[in-house]
Amino acid sequence: MAEPPRQRQACIGCRAIKAKCQQTDTLQVPCTRCKRLALSCEFTRQKRGRKSNVERERLRDQRATRSASPVRSAASLQRSGPPASQPSGSALGSEAKIMARAPTFMAGLSASSIELTPRSPDEPSLQQSPLKMPTVAGTRRHRVDVSEYLDPGEPEALLDIAPGRRSMEDPLALGLVSVAEARALVELFHQHLNPPLALLDPAYHTLAFMHESSFALLTAVLAAASKFFHGPETYRALLDHAQVLINRAVAEGHCEIGMIQCLMVLSHFKDTRDRTAWIKIGMALRFAYQNGLHKALQDVDTPRTSEGDRAQLNLERTWFCMCCFDSTYSHLFLLPLAIPASQRGDVDRWAHNHLGLGPPSDLRLACSVEALDVASQVHALKVNSTTKEYRAALLPQILSQIDRHDEKWFNGRLCKWELYESSQRHVCQSTRRHPSRLDSSPKASLCG
């Protein structure tokens, strides 16, 4: 059976709410929806084209009437009480805290658009609230100063971030050691551990200076001193913190002079189970080249007498120590040198140009650097596969260099030791039989 024809145009009521207009079987007004809701059902064809000014005004009035919210009377408010969604005083207090922490929201409000309306005494929930709600129609204006939120300034923001970052790197701020313990450990390091290392200047590397310039170096010094003069728990905590600072410096590419000295201190006074000394020296060497320490030896002929020269001496001393570290670990692991002999500089002239300014360990450092040439020749005999005749011809030259080194730095006192004579015989025998035993001789150890 064929369906009855449908009305192609919806009524005005269904068309206004975009509802489906279902006609009855007889296709007469009213439609199903208007009949159910008892509404007037009119079918008027919609006019196309622009609306006249009279129609625009009529539609605008209708929209304003529909959008206006009904206002309840005061009697109905008293009977029903406050609405269920009315916020309490505590809720408004929490909202006030959130608003205080949101300067971007407050910055978006202009001073002229915020108007406050005083509340009547019969509203206790709003009277106790610290938050005053802005309204459009008010009797009292409150001007809000938002200038501090519009342009806070870059220097202040940087100052707020820097203390937090530095406090996470400071071993004293973290409570690993107290200030009194740190002062004692630094003094013990300079008194007992720094002389054989010859890396730091006690008059320059004070606790205050290291705490201000490099937390990594301060942590390394405290860790090395606590290994011998403090408990193992403190040593382990400082060592772990120093490793964190090293990892962060490598990840971010920070190659300051304090980080170089930190790596050297931790490599020299390393843990018995630590197998990263060669890696640490390699990183320190890369940092030293990036800082240009190999170019800092151009003015070694100039005498250094003022306190302002200690910073330059610190750079030069670090480079000479780096040369010793490179030679020692290269010979130990039978690996090639990273620093050529041409970049070592004249350490003898450097040490004698600041005798009254530098620590006495600078002379010991100069003695060790000049012995690197002899150590390199002994290392070459051990590594290279040379003939017996070549080793026999080279050995007298090595022994004569050792004698000259002894005469220059020890006034020939080493030749009077029985250990020195026995080591000479041991070197000669090991050269003829087992060249690999050269580094184990006492005499060869003086050269490293």
Contact at 8 Å (CB) between 136 and 115?
yes
Residue 227: its pLDDT value, please?
94
CA distance from start to end of the chain = 113
The answer to whether residue 255 scores a pLDDT higher than 90 is no
Please give the mean pLDDT across all residues of the chain. 73
Q: pLDDT category, 344, cuts 50, 70, 90? A: confident
**For residues 5 and 440, which has the higher predicted lDDT (pLDDT)?**
5
pLDDT surpasses 60 at 430: no
Rounded Cα–Cα distance for residues 228 and 223 (Å): 9
Average pLDDT over residues 306-329: 91
CA 388/CA 392 separation, integer angstroms? 6
- The more confidently predicted of residues 22 and 106 is 22
Domain boundaries defined on the chain: 7-41, 167-370, 371-448
Question: For residue 7, what pLDDT is reported?
Answer: 55
* Dihedral sign computed on CA atoms, order 324, 327, 330, 332: negative
For residues 240-267, give the mean pLDDT.
94
Name the CA dihedral angle for 260, 379, 396, 438, rounded to a multiple of 10 degrees.
Answer: 110
Q: What is the mean pLDDT of residues 361-375?
A: 88
Query: Which pLDDT score is estimated for 144?
Result: 55
Would the pLDDT of 378 be above 90?
no
Share above pLDDT 90 across residues of the chain, in percent, rounded to a whole number: 28
Residue 357 vs residues 200, 213, 304, 308: alpha-carbon distances, Å:
13, 21, 7, 10
Q: What pLDDT, in 10s, does the model give residues 60-91?
A: 776 666 555 444 444 444 444 444 444 444 44
Strands 140-141 and 134-135: unpaired
How many alpha carbons lie under 13 Å from residue 353 in its C-beta half-sphere?
Answer: 18
The pLDDT assigned to 98 comes to 37
Q: Which residues pair with 135 in a beta bridge?
A: 115
Q: What is the pLDDT of residue 131?
A: 42
Long-range residue pairs from 234-238, CB within 8 A, at least 24 positions apart, any chain: 234/176, 234/177, 237/176, 238/171, 238/176, 238/177
Q: Quick check: 447 and 438 in contact, CB under 8 A?
A: no
Average of pLDDT values for 399-427? 67
> What whole-number distance in Å separates Cα of residue 318 and Cα of residue 339?
14
Provide, rounded to the nearest whole percent, the portion of the chain with pLDDT above 70.
61
Where is pLDDT greater, at 79 or 309?
A: 309
Is 431 within 8 Å of 395 (Cβ atoms)?
A: yes
pLDDT of the residue at 434: 42
pLDDT score for 380: 75
> What average pLDDT does range 84-99 have in this prediction?
43
Q: Which residues lie closer than 8 Å to 80 by C-beta, 6 or more apart?
A: none
Q: Model's pTM, two decimal places?
A: 0.57
Can you say whether residue 177 is alpha, beta or left, with left for phi > 0 and alpha for psi between -120 and 50 degrees? beta
